[in-house]
Amino acid sequence: MGLRDLAKRLTATVEQIDDERLQDRFAGLALTSLGDLEARVAARVGGEVSRTRIVPRSGVPSFEITVADGTGTAVAVFTGRRYLAGLEHGRAVVLEGVARAERGRLVMLNPAYTLLP
């Protein structure tokens, strides 16, 4: 670690350090970054769960998670579920599916998921 790296590290904000950590964590997995995710295109993305909530959709409860990878965020919705084992805050996950634009955010409905250690 050089002097320049140390100065960069000391002047960076907490958000910048966290974004860099997330980008490094998912760098070698051959995933589409969330910042490059496009609507209506099949994709394989990964990130850490940053938010979970239960939201009614058409009168049916749906488990909604927000994932972040340091370049952006996306939302995965699992309809008819109140909980999925292993999907909790801070957990790394890979999602596979097609995203769509909904209320200014990208949403994947019932994506296939793989939990990462």
CATH no. for 3-115: 2.40.50.140
For range 83-111, the mean pLDDT: 94
How far apart (Å, rounded) are the C-alpha atoms in residues 100 and 104?
A: 10
E strand intervals along the chain = 42-57, 60-68, 73-79, 92-102, 105-109, 112-115
How far apart (Å, rounded) are the C-alpha atoms in residues 16 and 64?
A: 25
In the chain, where are the structural domains located? 3-115
How far apart (Å, rounded) are the C-alpha atoms in residues 76 and 63?
A: 8
What is the predicted pLDDT for the residue at 7? 72
pLDDT tens digits, one per residue of 29-85: 889 999 899 999 999 999 999 999 999 988 899 999 999 998 999 999 999 999 999
Confidence (pTM): 0.83
Q: What token pair was written down for 4?
A: 């320049």
**Residue 47 burial (CB < 10 Å; 0-12/13-18/19+)?**
buried
For range 98-103, the mean pLDDT: 94
